[in-house]
Amino acid sequence: MRLYRTPGIFDPHETQRSHALAGRQLAGFRRRAGALIVDFLILAVFWIPFRVGSDYFIHQKLHLNEEIYKSSTGKTEVKFEFERTMELAWTVFLILYFGLSFRVTNGYTVGKRLMRIRVLSLTHEQMGIWQSIERALGYAASALEGGLGFFQYFLNANHQCAHDRLAETIAVRSAP
């Protein structure tokens, strides 16, 4: 049983922009996975020193331990939770990297450029800032439930993962 009409060819269904993209060669799953791995390796190169430096600065230089302030009555206390702060920083880091990359380069990240992939908007010629951030946030949706959102690539007629459908984008092969 085939779940899609023509393998690897975009099939428009909604907007005029979608019709303008008809026939574009879609990016394969291996290329897309490779691009994501490259992007996360690049993120690790910047994140790990930031994480280690933040840990050293906050705990060794500022001496901010878990308890920052406790009132004399013991009813009020302020705690600094380093791990929660780092989780928030990681989220912001991912959104900035992917969101700004898609917006500034109109559909590329370093990994996508290396793997000759480009993300195209189904609604506009250029990816807007909100659509870029929406796609960046969509990676979290794809990662939920054990990464099943990424494997929707195989179920969708236009090989769109959860983050593609959320942001109304497709990933196509770009010219070498």
Choose the weakest-confidence range: 55-69, 102-116, 117-131. Answer: 55-69
Question: Considering the domain boundaries, does residue 110 fall inside one?
Answer: yes
Structural domain of residue 104, as residue ranges? Answer: 28-173
Q: Where is pLDDT greater, at 75 or 14?
A: 75
Predicted local confidence at residue 133, as pLDDT: 94
- Residues 29-45 pLDDT 10s: 999 999 999 999 999 99
Domain assignment present for residue 3? The answer is no
Q: What is the pLDDT of residues 68-103, one digit of tens each?
A: 666 677 677 777 788 888 999 999 999 999 999 999
pLDDT over 50 (residue 1): no
Biggest distance spanned by C-alpha atoms of the chain:
72
Q: Could you tell me if residue 22 is inside a domain?
A: no
- Domain assignment of residue 96, yes or no: yes
Task: Identify whether 162 is part of a domain.
Answer: yes
Residue 12 confidence (pLDDT)? 60
Across residues 47-73, what is the average pLDDT? Answer: 80
Look-up of token digits 């497709």: 170
Task: Return the residue matching tokens 């500034």.
Answer: 104
Number of compact structural domains in the chain: 1
Q: Is residue 36 part of a domain?
A: yes
Determine, yes or no, domain membership for 140.
Answer: yes
Give a yes or no: residue 20 inside a domain: no
